[in-house]
Amino acid sequence: MSLRLPAVLAWTITALIGSLVSCSLQKTTEVPDELIGVWTTSADDYSGRSLELRNHSVLIGTGEGTPSPSPVVEVIQEPAVGMTAYTVVYRDLEGDFKLHLLYDAAQRELRLKNRPQVTWTKGEDAAPPEGSSAA
């Protein structure tokens, strides 16, 4: 048996796994409709803060001043246990940043992947999506 055969087999398995993983990922530059809106939480650590997602931008409200929109560079969607995982890549003056989000469609709740115990809910007075006209 040649030593080359295991290397070819390993490469084939790696390529197969890579293609399976990439098939489960969906990439776009537009924020999905279910995430568009102003998200807030009652958690004390985030008092006065908000996360606003628009079709093509992110606004992170820190309670100080008016947040500036940062353009969305990429949105990656992948399935997660009982939820949908999103990575929203946005750009500001300091570079590209990633928001790792978990969305529970049944509960209509959003969670930050690094703080899954904190739930965020979308306000009813969310701004209309960019490019749409208010009723």
Whether pLDDT at 36 is above 90: yes
CA–CA distance, 75 with 117 (Å, rounded to integer): 23
CA–CA distance, 79 with 102 (Å, rounded to integer): 10
Q: What is the pLDDT of residues 43-101, one digit of tens each?
A: 999 988 999 999 999 999 988 878 889 999 999 999 888 899 999 999 999 999 999 99
Percent over 90 (pLDDT), the chain = 56
Alpha helices of the chain — where are they, by DSSP H? 4-24
CA–CA distance, 89 with 73 (Å, rounded to integer): 5
Label residue 12 by pLDDT band (50, 70, 90): low
Kindly state the DSSP code that residue 45 receives in the 8-state scheme: G
Is the pTM higher than 0.85? The answer reads: no
CA–CA distance, 89 with 97 (Å, rounded to integer): 6
Percent over 70 (pLDDT), the chain = 73
**Which residues, in sequence order, are bridge partners of residue 76?**
27, 87
